[in-house]
Amino acid sequence: MSRTRPSLVDELWLETLERSFAQHAEGADHIDVAKLQIALGLRSEYLARRVLLRFDQDGDGLISRQEFVAGVRKLILGTDSEKLRFVFQLHDEDGNGFIGPTELLRMISLGLAEDEVVTDPDEPRRLAHLLFVMADLNRDGQISFEEFETLARAHPQVLQKMTRSEASWISPNEDLLARLERPRDPRARRIGRLLENRWHGLTFLLLWLLSTAAVFVASWSTSAAEAGCPLPVRIGRGFGACLNWNGALILVPVMRRLLTWVRASWLGRAIPIDEALGFHRLVGHSLVAFGFLHAAAFTYSYTLGHPSSSLGRLLLLTGPGVTGVVLLVVLAVMWSFSRTAVRRSSRFELFYFTHLLYLVWFAVAVIHAPSFIPWVALPLLGWAVEQVLRRRQRARSSVVLSAQALRSGVTRLELERPANFPQRAGDYLFLCIPAIARHEWHPFTISSAPESPTLSVHVRSLGNWTSALRRRVEQDHATGASEPLLAQLDGAYGSPSTEIFESRFAVLIGAGIGVTPFASVLESLVLRANGKSEQPCRLQKVHFFWLNRDQYSFEWFDALLSQLESADHAHLLDVHICMTGGHTGASSAGLEIARDLLHAVGQRDVVTGLRALTQMGHPDWVSVLQQIAEQHAPEAVDVYFCGPAGLARKVRAAAARAGMRFRQEQF
């Protein structure tokens, strides 16, 4: 029996379908095969045409609005048999009611091509043969719908995904689809779980808001006690006091050595160290706002008290005016070039060098208002000590023992480990290679375990420095240069991943190059479990998820994961590999079932060569994390994440819904 759509989302559902149709039809009253191919993100026009035939009820070669709505409704709300019939007909090219060997081989080959998976030339034929042998129960040389349905129902995960992909592409509202397919969680419970997962950060945010407001009120009260103090001056002094308070706070979240020490102490459980950089950005935004409000209030007060004088005289001929202008200009420049669009672009150096203007800002701020000194004296002293210690550590010299430019745009460096280098699994360091840039230091997670005799880092080519490093490695490889690159190291510094070994059950989620902290953790974990490390191991089970868009990106750590799979005698690791650029739709259902069968008989995955089966598309995090939580209930499960902010928001919400603590790696 088909499921009935929840009445609460009927209107939203229909509205979404109408919008989706209008978007794909581009003003027309139909969708043709070219538009459908774009909507589904397919490279093959043949596959798009096969899907179109399943929607096209009147046989005119087009999808009308009515056919579109009816087709999507069946994909989402239809019975399993109806969905399987849709899939079966896609594979049944000649429409005779049976799938033959040639039809199956063609769909599997097209599926591999859609995912851009490079395999042995005989691999498609081997997959098709395996599936055909398992499905053709009566051995008549063809697969009937009943035989296909029997096989598909034995693989429920494939069955769940096979039509969801088409529906989500042509009606792209994931939140709505999730609400249609999953029982609703009461709003109060969802909010409660989210608050429970972030109470440390929210508590500190509240304390910051209250303390800043208290500083403003205290300054206002002091000014109000002065006879004849005008209102703009009181407001300006209040914002000036907020500048003093936040100017003192801005340094604390970037004292990495202090934070590493705090993280390792009992304070690390009470203070949200993971949110340090987020707090630094918040205080930075506030400094800009308070600075301009402070300037506006005193400028207005000056115009009231000196109606015959010009603003130019205030700003250019008075000490407070000149220093105030300099402070605002410095803040504006630092703020503009610290935006995410700059930091994540090929112009990272703009952020790096303009941020050094903080030295100018503090010096001019003291000149502008000597009363700033009592506020900032202690943080500046701590910052100075931090810098002295970092300078001493930056004297650690190393040599690049080997360098490899991987096809996925990542450069792997293996470095000589300095004597007495203080590293824990998941730590990161700052790296300087004078041959690339003498004065630039960049943070990278250490991807090798503390027990390893060498250090390794993986550098993704994004900015000028990382691209120059890759070009140097490629050039040295092409010319056969033997002279090693010299390097300087600063670190190591702690991260959320260093706390993994305090958990009993953990979920590690790495997206793209975000897997690097977990590479170190996993290697150390297996060494500890097998008695090859002196460090204790409290972990009993680790569920590891690694997401990449394409096949080549898995080459970063496929060798390491293969070694870990072989060395994991205690079965501590549960590995999940996800290729997010892979197609999971109905047209690739035969391929997915064949890969599932290959995995079931103990063969290595065709995508990565690992024992773990590569899953195509994004996981359903709510369902996945809920299943893991139920598996280990009533024990607590911790989620550790490193990857893009957008994915972090989804995983954080899913972790909160499953009652899991969420920790995120940030730089």
User: pLDDT tens digits for 545-561?
Assistant: 989 888 777 877 777 78
Which residue, of 372, 388, 404, is where some domain finishes? 388
User: Do 490 and 501 share a domain, yes or no?
Assistant: no
Q: How many angstroms from the chain centroid is the CA of residue 170?
A: 25
Helix (H) or strand (E) holding 67: helix 65-77
Q: For the purposes of burial, counting CB atoms within 10 Å of the CB of 550, is it exposed (0-12), middle (13-18) or buried (19 or more)?
A: middle
- Tell me if 189 is assigned to some domain: no
- Tell me if 609 is assigned to some domain: no
pLDDT at residue 278 in the model: 85
Instruction: Answer whether 255's CB lies under 8 Å from 279's CB.
Output: no
Is it the case that residue 458 has pLDDT exceeding 80? yes
User: Do 382 and 404 share a domain, yes or no?
Assistant: no
pLDDT at residue 554 in the model: 80
pLDDT at residue 170 in the model: 60
Q: How confident is the model at residue 623 (pLDDT cuts 50, 70, 90)?
A: confident
- Tell me if 502 is assigned to some domain: yes
For every residue of 573-607, DSSP letters joined together read EEEEEEETTS--SGGGHHHHHHHHHHHHTTPPPTT
User: Do 241 and 382 share a domain, yes or no?
Assistant: yes
- Tell me if 70 is assigned to some domain: yes
Which residue, of 494, 512, 531, is where some domain finishes? 494
Is it the case that residue 7 has pLDDT exceeding 50? no
User: Do 267 and 288 share a domain, yes or no?
Assistant: yes
Of 271-275, 280-284, 509-513, 542-546, minimum mean pLDDT range? 271-275
Q: How confident is the model at residue 226 (pLDDT cuts 50, 70, 90)?
A: confident
Q: How confident is the model at residue 364 (pLDDT cuts 50, 70, 90)?
A: very high
User: Do 215 and 270 share a domain, yes or no?
Assistant: yes
Is it the case that residue 245 has pLDDT exceeding 90? yes
Is it the case that residue 629 has pLDDT exceeding 50? yes
- Tell me if 229 is assigned to some domain: yes
DSSP structure class, residue 485: P
Provide the CB-side half-sphere exposure for 398 (13 A, CA): 28
- Tell me if 253 is assigned to some domain: yes
pLDDT at residue 306 in the model: 66
pLDDT at residue 231 in the model: 87
Q: How confident is the model at residue 6 (pLDDT cuts 50, 70, 90)?
A: very low
Question: Could you read off the pLDDT of 586-615 as tens digits, one per residue?
Answer: 777 778 888 888 877 778 888 887 888 888
Q: What is the spatial distance between Cα 435 and Cα 323, in angstroms, rounded to a whole number?
A: 39
Q: How confident is the model at residue 649 (pLDDT cuts 50, 70, 90)?
A: confident
Is it the case that residue 491 has pLDDT exceeding 90? no
% of the chain at pLDDT higher than 70: 87
pLDDT at residue 545 in the model: 93
Query: Distances in Å between the alpha carbon of 658 and those of 469, 509, 623, 645?
Result: 42, 15, 9, 20
* Residue 493 or 247, more confident: 247
Q: Which domain holds residue 458?
A: 394-494
User: Do 501 and 488 share a domain, yes or no?
Assistant: no
Average pLDDT over residues 51-71: 86
Residues near 645 by Cβ (< 8 Å), separated by ≥ 6? none
Q: How confident is the model at residue 627 (pLDDT cuts 50, 70, 90)?
A: very high
Closest C-alpha to 214, from 246, 234, 240, 242: 242
Is it the case that residue 426 has pLDDT exceeding 90? no
User: Do 485 and 565 share a domain, yes or no?
Assistant: no
Q: How confident is the model at residue 335 (pLDDT cuts 50, 70, 90)?
A: very high
CATH no. for residue 455?
2.40.30.10
Q: What is the spatial distance between Cα 71 and Cα 64, in angstroms, rounded to a whole number?
A: 10
Q: Residue 661: beta bridge partners?
A: 638
- Tell me if 35 is assigned to some domain: yes
pLDDT at residue 59 in the model: 87
Q: What is the spatial distance between Cα 239 and Cα 260, in angstroms, rounded to a whole number?
A: 32
Is it the case that residue 197 has pLDDT exceeding 60? no
Query: Distances in Å between the alpha carbon of 262 and those of 231, 425, 536?
Result: 43, 17, 21
User: Do 247 and 296 share a domain, yes or no?
Assistant: yes
User: Do 161 and 23 share a domain, yes or no?
Assistant: yes
Q: What is the spatial distance between Cα 638 and Cα 643, in angstroms, rounded to a whole number?
A: 16
SS3 call for 163: coil
Which residue, of 436, 461, 494, is where some domain finishes? 494
What average pLDDT is seen over the chain?
Answer: 82
Is it the case that residue 298 has pLDDT exceeding 70? yes
What are the tokens at 387? Answer: 């810098």
Q: What is the spatial distance between Cα 401 and Cα 664, in angstroms, rounded to a whole number?
A: 31
What are the tokens at 118? Answer: 């490079």
Alpha helix (H) residue ranges in 255-396: 256-264, 276-305, 311-317, 319-336, 340-343, 348-354, 358-368, 372-393
pLDDT at residue 3 in the model: 47
User: Do 164 and 56 share a domain, yes or no?
Assistant: yes
Helix (H) or strand (E) holding 646: helix 645-657
- Tell me if 2 is assigned to some domain: no
Q: For the purposes of burial, counting CB atoms within 10 Å of the CB of 96, is it exposed (0-12), middle (13-18) or buried (19 or more)?
A: exposed
User: Do 266 and 339 share a domain, yes or no?
Assistant: yes
SS3 call for 638: strand
CATH no. for residue 628?
3.40.50.80
Of 34-48, 155-169, 468-482, 528-542, minimum mean pLDDT range? 155-169
User: Do 516 and 630 share a domain, yes or no?
Assistant: yes
Is it the case that residue 178 has pLDDT exceeding 60? no
Of 103-112, 299-308, 456-465, minimum mean pLDDT range? 299-308
Average pLDDT over residues 99-103: 90
Helix (H) or strand (E) holding 541: strand 541-548
| Residue 454 Rama label (left phi>0; alpha psi -120 to 50; beta) | beta
Q: How many angstroms from the chain centroid is the CA of residue 98?
A: 44
Is it the case that residue 159 has pLDDT exceeding 80? no
Number of domains into which the chain is organized: 4
Q: How confident is the model at residue 164 (pLDDT cuts 50, 70, 90)?
A: low
CATH no. for residue 159?
1.10.238.10
In the chain, DSSP finds a helix count (H) and a strand count (E) of 28, 16
* Residue 333 or 494, more confident: 333
Average pLDDT over residues 395-424: 86
